[in-house]
Amino acid sequence: MLWRLLVLSMGAALIVACGGDDDAPDKNLAPGGLAIKVCGDNAAWMRPSLEEQRAYVTADPRWRAFEARNREQFEAHFWGVGHSASGAGTILEFSGMWNLPNEGKDFYWDALHRCFDDPAVDRDEYLPLWLFEHEIISAREQGETTEVAVRPRDAGVQIVALRLPGGIYGRETNVVFVDAEGDVIEKLDRLWSTPP
């Protein structure tokens, strides 16, 4: 299924960020690949158990039920949202990052602010991605598909931004995540990934 990149309503801006050295240029981790910004990396984060996630969601009066969609969101290893307080809330609540007491929100917002407080950065060129229990190796465009190579790790969350030629608005793209052998492990479907 195509993941349509939409201009946000009411003038909300898409915000992504880079991590580490604020003046660091984009990194291209593979010849011919897309430029990548590593926005933030918390290698210590551990995903809560499914039962802990279910208890957390059902205890919140905003949700009260743990639906099949919530399980799908929780089990996704990749998310493609990163633009607003509502986007932050969705990721933090349904990915399991809520279990990083205050650090989860700080990690998220610190990553966003570190890079895009710089007015010289064109936010419209970057596709933000959240990688859970994985880290990015490289990314490249293959026709209308953006292929993101990742490797698994035991824990952690990584926020990255891919620089797409021509920007992210007004285009359709398939985003797939592949392992070291090039096999598709998940695809970005909706705002979170699902098995192929």
159-177 pLDDT per residue, tens: 888 887 776 666 667 889 9
pLDDT for residue 8: 24
3-state SS, 144-185, equals: CEEEEEEEEEEEEEEEEEEECCCCCCCCEEEEEEECCCCCEE
pLDDT of 48 over the 90 cut: yes
User: How many angstroms separate the CA atoms of 98 and 105, rounded?
Assistant: 8
Domain assignments of the chain as residue spans, ordered by start: 3-194
pTM over 0.85: no
Does residue 131 carry a pLDDT above 90?
A: yes
pLDDT tens-place string over residues 50-102: 999 999 999 988 887 888 888 998 999 998 865 455 566 778 888 888 887 66
